[in-house]
A and B are shown apart, each in its own frame.
Chain A
Amino acid sequence: MFKRILLVSLVASLMLLTSIVVTAQDDILLYGGNQDIDNIDPATGENYSINAALRSLYDALFLARGSDIEPHLVESFEVSDDATVWTFTLHDHAVFQDGSPVTADAVVYSFNRMMAISGPPTWRWETITDENSAQALDEHTVQFTLTQPYAPFIGTLTQLFVVNPAIVEANIVEIACPEPEEGEEAIEGPCYDHGQTFLRENAAGSGPFTQGRWEIGNIYEFIAVEDYWAGWRGEDHLDGFVWIIQRDGATQLNSLLAGETHIADQATPSKKDQIIDSPDHVWEEHPGTYVNTLKMNNLGEYTSNVNLRKAIAHAMNYEAMVQAQEEAVSLMFGPTPDYMPGYVGTLDYPTYDLDKAREYMAMTPWPDGGISLDYIYVTELSHEIVPGLILLEGLAEIGIEMNMVPMLWPDMVASCGSPETGPDIINIYTVPSFLDLDAHLYNQYHSDQWGSFNSCSFYQNERVDELLDTARVTGDAEMREEMYVEAQEIINEDQPSVWMYTLSSGTGMHKCVKGYRYSPYYQVTVLFQDLWMEDC
Chain B
Amino acid sequence: MNIRFYILRRIALLIPTLIGLSILTFSIARIVPGDPVGLAAGPQATEEIKAALRRELGLDQPLPIQYINYMTGLFRGDWGESLYTRRSVIGDLRTFWPATLELTTAAVIIATVLGVPAGVISAMYRNRLPDHVARVLSLFFVSFPSFWLAMIFQTWFGLDLGWFPISKRLPVLVAPPPATTGLFLVDSLIQLDFETFLVSFRHLFIPALVLSFGAFASITRITRASMVEALEKDFVRMERAIGIPYRVIIFKYVLRNALIATITVISLNFGWLMAGAILIETIFDWPGLGLYAVKASLSLDFQPIMGIAILYGIVFSIVNILTDVVYGILDPRIRYG
- Contact residue among A124, A201, A251 (Cβ-Cβ distance under 8 Å from B285): A251
Between A and B, 17 residue pairs with Cβ closer than 8 Å are A17-B202, A18-B202, A22-B199, A120-B49, A200-B87, A201-B87, A213-B175, A244-B168, A244-B285, A254-B159, A260-B165, A408-B34, A409-B298, A409-B299, A410-B38, A413-B38, A414-B38
Contact A179 B55 (CB under 8 A): yes
In the complex with contacts A17-B198, A452-B44, A123-B166 CB distance below 8 A: no
One digit per residue, 1 when the CB lies within 8 angstroms of any chain B CB and 0 when it does not, for chain A 169-212 equals: 00000000011010000000000000010001100000000000
B55-A181 in contact (CB<8A): yes
Task: List chain B residues, Cβ under 8 A from A120.
Answer: 41-42, 44-45, 49
Closest beta carbon of chain A to B162's beta carbon, Å: 7
* Interface assignment of B216: CB less than 8 Å from any CB of chain A: no
Q: Among the listed B41, B87, B167, which residue makes an inter-chain contact with A260, where contact means beta carbons less than 8 Å apart? A: B167
Closest beta carbon of chain A to B55's beta carbon, Å = 5
Which of A80-88, A215-223, A341-349, A352-360 forms part of the interface with chain B? A215-223
**B-binding segment of A38-46, A383-391, A471-479:** A38-46
| B283-A248 in contact (CB<8A) | yes
Cβ of A364 within 8 Å of any chain B Cβ, yes or no, is no
Q: A18-B164, A25-B173, A218-B287 are in contact. Are A178 and B202 (CB under 8 A)?
A: no
- Complex-state Cα separation, A18 to B206, whole angstroms: 12
- Give the shortest distance, in Å, between A189 (CB) and chain B (any CB): 14
In contact, A178 and B55 (Cβ under 8 angstroms): yes
- Which listed residue, B43, B86, B205, touches A39 by the CB 8 Å rule? B86
How far does the alpha carbon of A4 sit from the alpha carbon of B187 in the complex, in Å? 32
Contact A123 B299 (CB under 8 A): no
A39 partner residues in chain B, CB cutoff 8 A = 84-87
**CB nearest neighbor in A for B49:** A118
**Residues of chain B within 8 A of A20, CB atoms compared:** 198-199, 202
Residue contact A260 to B49, C-beta cutoff 8 Å? no
Which chain A residues (402-439) contact chain B, with CB distance < 8 Å? 408-411, 413-414, 417, 430, 433
The 9 closest A-B pairs by CB, nearest first: A120-B42, A410-B34, A123-B44, A218-B287, A414-B35, A22-B171, A18-B163, A38-B85, A411-B34
CB within 8 Å of B: which A118-140 residues: 118-124, 126-127
* Contact of B61 (CB < 8 Å), options: A30, A179, A215: A179
Whether B42 pairs with A246 at a CB distance below 8 angstroms is: no
**Chain B residue contacts of A44, Cβ below 8 A:** 86
Of the candidates B45, B61, B201, B291, which one forms a contact with A217 in the assembled complex, judged by CB atoms under 8 Å apart? B291
Q: Pick from A121, A242, A411: contact of B173, CB below 8 A.
A: A242
Of chain B, the residue at the smallest CB distance from A245 is B285
Interface presence of B7 (CB below 8 A): no
Q: Does A443 sit at the interface, judged by CB under 8 A?
A: yes
**Is the CB–CB distance between B47 and A451 below 8 Å?**
yes
Asked if residues B283 and A216 are in contact (CB atoms below 8 Å), the reply is no
Interface contact A410-B35, CB-CB below 8 Å: yes
A224, CB-defined interface residue at 8 Å: no
User: Across the interface, which residues of A come within 8 angstroms of B285, CB to CB?
Assistant: 218, 244-248, 251
Q: Min CB distance, A64 to chain B, in Å? A: 18
In the complex, which residues of chain B have a beta carbon less than 8 angstroms from the beta carbon of A200? 85-87
4 further contact pairs, Cβ within 8 A, besides A215-B287, A242-B173, A408-B300:
A38-B84, A126-B46, A181-B51, A246-B285
CB-CB contacts below 8 Å: B94-131 with A:
95-96
- Identify the stretch in B150-158, B221-229, B233-241, B325-333 within 8 Å (CB) of chain A at 4 or more residues: B150-158
Interface positions, chain B 265-298, Cβ under 8 Å from A, are 282-285, 287, 291-292, 298
Once the chains are docked, how many angstroms separate the CA of A24 from the CA of B199? 15
Cβ 8 A contact of B172, one of A123, A219, A409: A219
Q: Which residue of A has the minimal Cβ distance to B82?
A: A38
B48: Cβ under 8 A from any A Cβ: yes
How distant is B284 from chain A, measured CB to nearest CB, in Å?
A: 7
Q: Does B178 sit at the interface, judged by CB under 8 A?
A: no
The residues of A with any CB-CB pair to B shorter than 8 Å are 16-18, 20, 22, 24-25, 28, 30, 38-39, 44, 46, 118-124, 126-127, 178-179, 181, 196, 200-201, 213, 215-219, 242, 244-248, 250-251, 254-255, 257-258, 260, 408-411, 413-414, 417, 430, 433, 443, 451-454
Give the residues in chain A near B287, CB-CB below 8 Å: 215, 217-218, 245
Q: Which of B3-49 contact A (CB under 8 A)?
A: 33-36, 38-39, 41-49
Please give me the residue from chain B that is nearest to A453 by CB atom: B43
Tell me if A's interface is mostly helix, strand, loop or mixed.
mixed
Inside 8 A of B39's CB, which chain A residues have their CB?
409-410, 413
Cα distance, A380 to B201, chains bound together (Å):
35
Contact of B96 among A16, A181, A217, A247 (CB under 8 A): A217
CA distance A247 to B287 in the complex (A): 10
- Cross-chain contact A22 with B44 (CB below 8 angstroms): no
In the complex, A30 Cα to B34 Cα: how many Å?
37
- Residues in A with CB closer than 8 Å to B35 are 410-411, 413-414, 417
Say how far A346's CB is from chain B's closest CB, in angstroms.
30
Closest to B163 in A: A18
Least Cβ distance of A293 to chain B in Å? 14
Docked pose: A257 CA to B86 CA in angstroms:
35
State the Cβ distance, B156 to closest chain A Cβ, in Å: 11
Taking CB as reference atom, which chain A residue is nearest B301? A410
B189 on the A face (CB < 8 A) = no
Measured CA separation A25–B174 after assembly (Å): 11
Known interface pairs A22-B171, A22-B174, A44-B86; A408-B298 also in contact (CB < 8 Å): yes
Known A217-B287, A218-B168; judge A118-B48 contact (CB<8 A): yes
Q: Tell me whether B167 and A255 are in contact (CB under 8 A).
A: yes
Closest to B46 in A: A126
CB-contacts of B194-228 with A (<8 A) = 198-199, 201-202, 205
Alpha-carbon separation in the docked complex, A260 to B199 (Å): 15
Contacts of B56 in A (CB 8 A): 178
A123-B300 contact, Cβ under 8 Å, with A44-B86, A248-B283, A255-B167:
no
B244 at the interface (CB under 8 A from A): no
Partner among A126, A201, A255, A414 whose Cβ is within 8 Å of the Cβ of B49: A126
> Which residues from chain A contact B38 at a C-beta distance below 8 Å?
410, 413-414, 417
Q: What residues of B have a CB within 8 angstroms of the CB of A126 in the complex?
A: 46, 48-49
> Complex formed: what's the CA distance from A121 to B43 in Å?
10
A281: min CB distance to chain B, Å? 13
- Nearest Cβ in chain B — how far from A444, in angstroms? 11
Chain B residues within an 8 Å CB radius of A118: 48-49, 52
Q: Which residues of B contact A410 (CB under 8 A)?
A: 34-36, 38-39, 299-300
Cα-based distance from A133 to B106 in the complex (angstroms): 58
Closest-CB distance, B187 to chain A (whole angstroms): 14
Decide yes or no whether B92 CB sits under 8 A from chain A. yes
Find A38's partner among B41, B47, B87 (CB 8 Å cutoff): B87
Q: Are A217 and B95 in contact (CB under 8 A)?
A: yes
Q: Bound complex: CA of A18 vs CA of B203, how far in Å?
A: 10
Contact of B283 among A30, A38, A251 (CB under 8 A): A251
**Which of A216, A219, A257 interacts with B159 by CB under 8 Å?**
A257
Q: A304: shortest Cβ distance to chain B, in Å? A: 24
Residues of B within 8 A of A213 (CB): 175
- Within the complex, which residue of B44, B95, B167, B198 is in contact with A16, where a contact is CB–CB below 8 Å? B198
Instruction: Chain A residues near B42: list those with CB within 8 A.
Output: 46, 119-121, 123
A22's nearest neighbour on chain B, judged by CB, is B171
Tell me if B145 is interfacial: C-beta within 8 Å of chain A: no
B95 proximity list for chain A (CB < 8 A): 215-217
Q: Are B167 and A123 in contact (CB under 8 A)?
A: no
B154 touches A254 (CB 8 A): yes
CB neighbours (8 Å) of A25 from chain B are 173
A184 nearest CB neighbor, chain B only: B55
Least CB distance from A434 to B in Å reads: 12
Q: List the B residue with the shortest CB-CB distance to A443.
A: B44
CA distance in complex: A92, B158 (Å): 51
List CB contacts (< 8 Å) of B63-96 with chain A. 84-87, 92, 95-96
